[in-house]
Every structure is written in C-alpha cells, then in structure tokens.
Amino acid sequence: MPLSSILQSRPESPFAGLWGLPTSSVNWCESDYTITFYIAEFFNSCSSLCMVSFGLLGQWSLSYLPKNVNATPRPRRKDPEIYDPLQEHPRLVGVDRIWLTWFALQIVGWGSVAFHGSLQWWSQAFDEVPMVWTAILHLSTGLVGRYDPFPLATSSTSTSSTSDTEEKGFVESYLVPSLRRSSTGEPYTPIMSTTFLAHAVTCSLLVTLFRGPSQFLVFHILFGSVELAGFFLTYTISKEAADPSHPRGIGYIKGCHSDAVYKSLLQRHQKDVGTLHRRGLWFYCIAIGIWSTDLNFCEYISRIPFIYPSLSMKGLEWVYTTFNPQGHAWWHLLVSIGFYHLGVLVTYDRMLAGYRTFWQGVDKKEPGCLELLKEEKVKGRLVGKKGDVPVIEWLYGWIPVVAMWRPHK
C-alpha cells in the first residue's frame, strides 16, 4: 500500500465499498474506503478501540478498591486480614453501578467501530445511543453518591397497630431502603433514577427516529446537556476538595490520626482530586477542539501540503501530496483518557461518600450500620476503622485508581 493512499485528502464523492454509500447523518473528514474495501473509515474505526480499552481498564481498576496502599514497611510482615463492612457489601457504595458505567463505555467503543466502519444510519445509532447511556450512568453515579451514599437503615418504622417504633435489620432496610429524603418525604435515588431513565429512553428514541442533519443536531443537544451536567459535577467535587472544612471532604477522620498524618492525607486528597479534574478536563477540552476542527474545517485540513521521499524504479524521488492528520481518530484517544480520569474522580467521590456516611451512621448508632459490625459478620477478623479512608493511587505515576489507606496494624 503506497503511503500516498493514507495521506490523500477526502474525496468529494465517496467510493462505495463493502457497506455501500454512507447513509449516516454525518461523514467525517477521513477518506472513505482508502485503506481497505471492507472498512469505510479505517483510522476512525481502529481508534474507537481506545474506548473499549479504557472501559476494560476502568473495570480492572475496581480490583484495587480493597487494597491497602499504605504498605507495611520492611522488614515485611503479613498484614492481618481486615473485615471492611463496605468491601464486604460492594453494592452499598455503588460498585455495580460504577462497573456498569465502564462496561457501557466499552459498548460505545464497539458501536463507534461499527459506525466508522460502515457509515450507515443503523450503526450511527449503535454509536450514539450507548454514548447517552454512558454519560447518564456517569452522572447518576456521582449524584446518587452525594445524596444517597448508600441505604442507611431507618431508625424506625411505623405500624397501624402501635405508635411505638420498631427497629429494622440491615437486610430489610437494604431491600426496602429508607434513603435520604426530599422535602416532600420522597427518597432521592428512585426519583433520580427514574428521571435519568426517562431521559435516556427519550434520547434513544429521538436518535433512532430522526434522520439527516436534524438527527445530528438532536443528538448533540440531548447528549451535550448530560455531558455539561457531568462537567459541572466534577467541577463541584474539585472545588469542594479545595476547602478543608467542607463536610464532603475527609474531615470525618480528623480525630482518628495525629495532626501530621491527617494533614498529609488532606494534602493528598486535595492534590489528587485537583490533578484528576485538571487532567480529565484538559484532555476532554483538547479532544473537543480537535473534534470540532475536524468536523468544520475538513476542506482546509485535507489540503495540508506534505512532501515525502519515495523509492521507485527511477530511484529516490520526492512525492507531493496532501496530509490529513486524522483528527477524529485523535478525538477517540484523547476523550477516552479524559473520561477515564473524570470517571475515577467520580468513583473516588462515591467511595469517600460511602465510607463517610457509614462511619457517621456508626457514631449515630444507626441500626443498619451497627448490623454490619456484629461479631458473627466479622468472624475473628480485624475490623476496619473509621480512619481507613479511600485514596487515589497513581500506578506507574500516570494511571489513577481508587484504593484504601489503612494505618499499620
């Protein structure tokens, strides 16, 4: 395959390859069927696997949740087995919802592979509908974590036969949760979940029913509204972390450690949250800028002059052609990196909210929280303490994951 076939500009009349002429509402700047007869946009399709890869990375990162990153110093000795109430019941801190968000990102990637590989209207829906659901899962994970960290047991339940209160056990409270309630007495989580579900279904129907430019516009308005809300959520998390006295921070562990240890954990909390937010936002903004430029200035981008040496039967000669930097392919990579950072930020905030609420519930003697600390549940293991706190760990200095920081036992 000559290099010029990769570098040439996008033709005005796309060649009909395996999938025929494009029927999608948008055709990106990459030349159609330039590399192979079987894939409409080769680079855009292959780069979509970045989203699949980062979705898998997100799921793998959840394996770090129970790990203690405050490793025992040398000489190493075996750490005692810890009973962590929330690690024993991961659904209480929304691990299943977080896992589902990373899985949805993988579906987005495969949908994008199909879309750019065929440029058909049905494959475009396969790309865009999962994008809406992924953004809603990401947003709802953060909001539920802030308003309903997990279903704390209600302290009482009323019956028609008596005015006395009857304490409910953890299982009953979890199956029929009494969550944080609104001013009208309704639990927040069902309200939020129903609202998000209705929005997702509406977007899915409109994206699949509309055709042409109107479909492209409707999708980006509906998807963009959720995306902007997600940006505002991560901005709120970052801003709150900058305030040491904010009730959603790590102030609840202040009395559990010495002043030096608490100050170190607080600085780590503020630094890591700020780094995650800045990196995620910068990658996202650069990706959006490249996406917009590639979409709106394709005519000029594909005419960028490029000269390269080529060896032929006549000897070494210079070939003059045009260069397409494949901006949409770079968008796939950069937006995947940005979403991963912001996703880890929301995961961290969700975990921190769960631990904070649990130990506050223990202090208030909430029946559901105390139920988790019963001796038969511990089974001889060392019980986790209030000073155990979720932290951000940077693998190889670049890959953020959420783990636990526990004092040496």
Is 240 annotated as a binding-site member? no
Question: How many whole angstroms separate alpha carbon 265 and alpha carbon 406?
Answer: 11
Is 393 annotated as a binding-site member? no
Is 41 annotated as a binding-site member? yes
**Residue whose token pair is 């308003």:** 147
Question: How many whole angstroms separate alpha carbon 360 and alpha carbon 146?
Answer: 14
Amino acid making up residue 283:
F
Is 332 annotated as a binding-site member? yes
Is 28 annotated as a binding-site member? yes
**Which residues neighbour 162 within 8 Å (Cβ) at sequence distance 6 or greater?**
none
Question: How many whole angstroms separate alpha carbon 138 and alpha carbon 94?
Answer: 12
Q: 203 vs 46, 172, 222, 263, CA distance in Å?
A: 27, 35, 6, 46
Number of H helices, E strands in the chain: 14, 6
Determine if the peptide bond prior to 149 is cis (ω within 30°): no
**Which 3 state secondary structure label does DSSP give 111?**
helix
Q: 340 vs 111, 145, 307, CA distance in Å?
A: 18, 18, 37
42 - beta bridge partners?
none
**Residue whose token pair is 């505002």:** 232
Is 328 annotated as a binding-site member? yes
Neighbour count for residue 173 (Cβ, 10 Å): 23
Question: How many whole angstroms separate alpha carbon 302 and alpha carbon 10?
Answer: 6
Neighbour count for residue 97 (Cβ, 10 Å): 18
**Which 3 state secondary structure label does DSSP give 245?**
coil
Question: How many whole angstroms separate alpha carbon 347 and alpha carbon 345?
Answer: 5
**Which residues neighbour 228 within 8 Å (Cβ) at sequence distance 6 or greater?**
none
Question: How many whole angstroms separate alpha carbon 156 and alpha carbon 178?
Answer: 10
Q: Which residues belong to the annotated binding site for Ca(2+)?
A: 28, 30, 41
Q: Which residues belong to the annotated binding site for Zn(2+)?
A: 116, 328, 332
Q: Which residues belong to the annotated binding site?
A: 28, 30, 41, 116, 328, 332
